Amino acid sequence: MTAKVIDGRKIAKNLRSNISDEVKELVSKYKIVPNIVTIIIGDDPSSKLYLRLRDKACEEVGIKSSHAKFPADVSEEEVLQTINNLNDDNSVHGILIQFPISKHISQDKLINSLNPEKDVEGFNPVNMGKTLIGDEYIIPCTPLAVLTILEHENIDLKGLDVTIVNHSNVVGKPLTSLFLNRNATVSICHVFTKNMKKYTSTADILITAAGVAKLIKEEHVKKDAFVIDVGIIKTEDGICGDVDFDSVKNIAGKITPVPGGVGPVTVACSLTNMVKTYKNCVE
């Protein structure tokens, strides 16, 4: 028996179809097309694929996506001024900041300056705080994608042993809050963990986002576990995840592939959040 392979593209397609219907309804009601602005600083090549995928997804569901582009050496003040203008602009219904950005600009300052109601990625402290305390509102896209996949597979998280390999603000920390809010038992590992296998090999659900190709092998995984691979690594053999898929699929119960797993669901979840921020602005 090998694991059930989760089809992220199919889940994403269903999500986009529902979002498309909802956007049509909202536009017909409010006569305003959702308008989302992405702030891009510099010319980071790793952002380009993701931006292209997201813009295409926006177009498909009827959301207007535009870019506010700055050269890599733009001043922090100028970007903050633009964010303030976008916060106040009634014709803008959501703001994203494309990371990475230039090192001379404070990522925290930009995120803190976003109007929480227009914060598509849910990284502003107000939205992160709401995620933490269980008053969930705009949830960061990757954690939301993981949750969406688990819900799609009808997993009741209460009492399950969950291990997360990542402790970043973007993935591990908000994901921890989401799992605790659903009464799972949660362990969080990362590069400083002494014995990762101790935590991964007994987990009912294993989420990994280390960005290290084939870090997670058969020996790290409990029989019949649900393995969700958030890693995306470019290798000579193409795109792969954190999980040694060919061996782990022999022990896991369910597994997400890379590509075609969490990635497309994350893009769809950013559309879900755009609809939320749009509603904040027009309702």
Q: Applying CB under 8 A, which residues contact a second copy?
A: 108, 123-135, 158-159, 161, 167, 169, 172-174, 176-177, 180, 183-190, 192-194, 198-199, 202
Q: How far apart are CA 48 and CA 225, in angstroms?
A: 34
Amino acid of residue 48: K
Q: Which two tokens stand for residue 64?
A: 């207007």
Supply the DSSP string of 199-256, one letter for each residue. HHTT-SEEEE----TT-B-GGGS-TT-EEEE---EEETTEEE-SB-HHHHTTT-SEE-
Conformation bin of residue 31: beta by default, left when phi > 0, alpha when psi is -120 to 50: left
Nearer to a second copy, 39 or 128 (CB): 128
Tell the smallest beta-carbon distance from residue 270 to a second copy (Å): 19
Q: Closest approach of Cβ 161 to a second copy, in Å?
A: 7
Q: Which residues of 69-83 are buried (b: 16+ CB within 10 A; e: fewer)?
A: ebeeebeeeebbebb
Shortest separation between residue 100's beta carbon and a second copy, angstroms:
17
Minimum Å distance from CB 37 to a second copy?
23
Instruction: Closer to a second copy by CB, 174 or 261: give it.
Output: 174
- Residue whose pair of structure tokens reads 């890599």 in the numeric block: 72
Please say which residue, 173 or 276, places its beta carbon nearer to a second copy: 173
CA dist list (Å): 158 to 148, 180, 182: 16, 9, 6
d(CA 181, CA 131): 9
- Backbone φ and ψ for 188, nearest 5 degrees, come out as -120, 120
* Residue located via tokens 């900041």: 97
Written as six digits, the tokens of 196 are 């990762």
Residue 6 or 150: the one with the smaller Cβ distance to a second copy is 150
Q: Please, what is the minimum distance in Å from the beta carbon of residue 128 to a second copy?
A: 4
Cβ closer to a second copy: 167 or 279?
167
For a second copy, the closer CB: 202 or 247: 202
DSSP-derived letter for residue 84 is H
Beta carbon nearer to a second copy, 20 or 193: 193
Distance from chain centroid for Cα 153: 18
The Cα–Cα gap between 280 and 242 comes to 37
Closest approach, Cβ 79 to a second copy, in A, equals 18
What is the nearest approach in angstroms of a second copy to the Cβ of residue 174? 7
Which of 16/173 has CB closer to a second copy? Answer: 173
Contact partners, residue 48, CB within 8 Å, separation at least 6: none
Shortest Å, Cβ 157 to a second copy: 9
